[in-house]
Structure 1
Amino acid sequence: QIKTAFPDFPDENIIMGFQKSMVKVDITLDDCPHNILKSNARFPVLMRRPWNRELTGLLAVHDYEEFFLLLDQIKSSMIEDRMEPEAPCVVALVGPSGSNKNKIAKKLCQSERFAAPAAYTTKPFSVKIGKESSSIHKTISEEDFLRDSKEFLETTRYAGYAYGTKEQDISKLIDKGKYVVMPMDLSGAIAMKRHYPTVIIFCKCKRERMIENILGKDMDNHEKMLRLVAMENELKNADLCDFVVRTDSGDAVERIMQICK
């Protein structure tokens, strides 16, 4: 099957075996949870499928186009070829749960240069993150989320819930020349690169502070557990981002504003 699908692939590069975790590689792509969780790869990447929707905090893609974009991001991080943001563009704030992404986004949106689009989620809550009426997490049912899937530019699964942003909401802000602030995971940020210039900023925070923030959130213990378990994997993503900003210090917002000259 491999030779049929990839006739030009060298025979010596094909390794037959049962335990993929025994092979040491830079990047691996798989849709089986146990292969990703046990992988020795520097960058294990999960191909999203219905049977792995509960996995949280891992590098994940929905298709091969997103995977190739992720490869580009990995390569650019190795040669320190980071994007210098100019409006209009997307400013993706990534980092583990509890790293103050939403709080930073809310403060940035107090400036006229920044705005946040609506974020849709199957999580039953509604939290304002900006001063525009569209800058809000909007809760919709799982059925509605799947029905409207073609309207979303990016979707992701986190702690069992689906999150997504619609193209029309982002385009309105881009057309106004804004820095479009979006708290999201790295996989969502990579997906955004398919459509808009996107700078990825990692929100770095002390583990103790993030754990305290997670435990203090209004959610059930199962979701808190998933977020805590995901923390270590998400911390590894800092090396793949264009910039790293400490969000447990008082100058985080000023630092991001300096990055977005």
Structure 2
Amino acid sequence: MSKGLLFVVSGPSGAGKGTICKKLLEKTDIELSVSMTTRSPRPGEKEGKNYFFVPKEKFLEVLHDNGFLEYAKVYGNYYGTPKDIVLKKLDDGKDVVLEIDIQGALQIRDSYPKGIFIFILPPSMSELRKRITGRGSETEDDINLRLGETLKEVSYIDKYDYCVINGEIDEAVNRVAAIIKAEHSRVSEDIYKLIAKYKEEM
């Protein structure tokens, strides 16, 4: 059985990476990686579906054992991608998608270089401003800060394998799905094993 592939999707806030991943789960057999966190569940969140909710001591124990593909501390809480769960799914032949920020993606590039990295971009800064403003939860200063952050984040695009511009959501989802399909046709260890099998059958 072929190993699954790990797809890392990231991009600036408001670019639509979350929506793309959600629609990707409906359209393909890919599985979403579930993060571990020390924060408390919010109303409606379910253990093992939204996050694995753990005490800080448990998180630090996993961290000490090098058990995360990546982790970060955000607003006093820890978040991390459990390595063993992701690797088990990949070993079982399942593709996994991880929606994450740029810093987390760079950590994964070090811890799992075989990952396929996809950067989601907005079609323009004015459209990005419109999307962030549409949330209704940001002040003008917050919006300007996020737009400034976007320009810093896009400077990391050379660390990624693919770039998808999210102008129209269905088109963007189709492009990411096409990347997943194409990656399964890449010359890999599995292909060399198949060729070795050809030789045995002669």
* TM-score interval, smaller chain: 0.5 to 0.7
Equivalent positions of 1:1-261 (< 5 A) are 88-121=4-37, 134-138=48-52, 145-150=59-64, 151-157=67-73, 162-193=78-109, 194-195=111-112, 197-205=114-122, 206-217=124-135, 227-249=146-168, 250-261=170-181
Instruction: State the 1:105 CA deviation.
Output: 0.8
TM-score (norm 1): 0.54
Contact 2:129 2:143 in 1 (8 A): no
SS of match in other structure, 2:26: coil
Kindly tell me the number of residue pairs found equivalent between the two proteins.
172
Q: For each residue in 1:101-152, what CA deviation from the matched residue of structure 2 results, as whole angstroms up to 9, or x when unmatched?
A: 1111111112443111112345666599xxxx84424565666644542332
Which has the larger share of helix?
A: 2
TM-score (norm 2): 0.67
Q: Distance in 2 between matches of 1:141 and 1:239?
A: 37
User: What is the RMSD computed on CA atoms of the aligned residues?
Assistant: 3.4
Q: Distance in 2 between matches of 1:160 and 1:142?
A: 11
Q: For each residue in 1:65-89, what CA deviation from the matched residue of structure 2 results, as whole angstroms up to 9, or x when unmatched?
A: xxxxxxxxxxxxxxxxxxxxx9612
Assess, with a 3 A threshold, how the Cα gap between structure 1 residues 139 and 96 changes in structure 2: closer, same or farther. farther
SS of match in other structure, 1:201: strand
Q: Distance in 2 between matches of 1:201 and 1:127?
A: 31
SS of match in other structure, 1:120: strand
Q: For each residue in 1:180-239, what CA deviation from the matched residue of structure 2 results, as whole angstroms up to 9, or x when unmatched?
A: 111112332232232362011110103233333334448675976754442210122223
SS of match in other structure, 1:182: strand
Assess, with a 3 A threshold, how the Cα gap between structure 1 residues 146 and 217 changes in structure 2: closer, same or farther. farther
Instruction: State the 1:159 CA deviation.
Output: 7.2
Q: Among the aligned pairs, what percent are the same residue? A: 27
Q: Distance in 2 between matches of 1:228 and 1:185?
A: 15
Question: 1:254 corresponds to which letter in structure 2?
Answer: N
Question: 1:192 corresponds to which letter in structure 2?
Answer: I
Assess, with a 3 A threshold, how the Cα gap between structure 1 residues 138 and 209 changes in structure 2: closer, same or farther. farther
Q: Distance in 2 between matches of 1:260 and 1:175?
A: 17
Assess, with a 3 A threshold, how the Cα gap between structure 1 residues 135 and 210 changes in structure 2: closer, same or farther. farther
Instruction: State the 1:165 CA deviation.
Output: 0.7
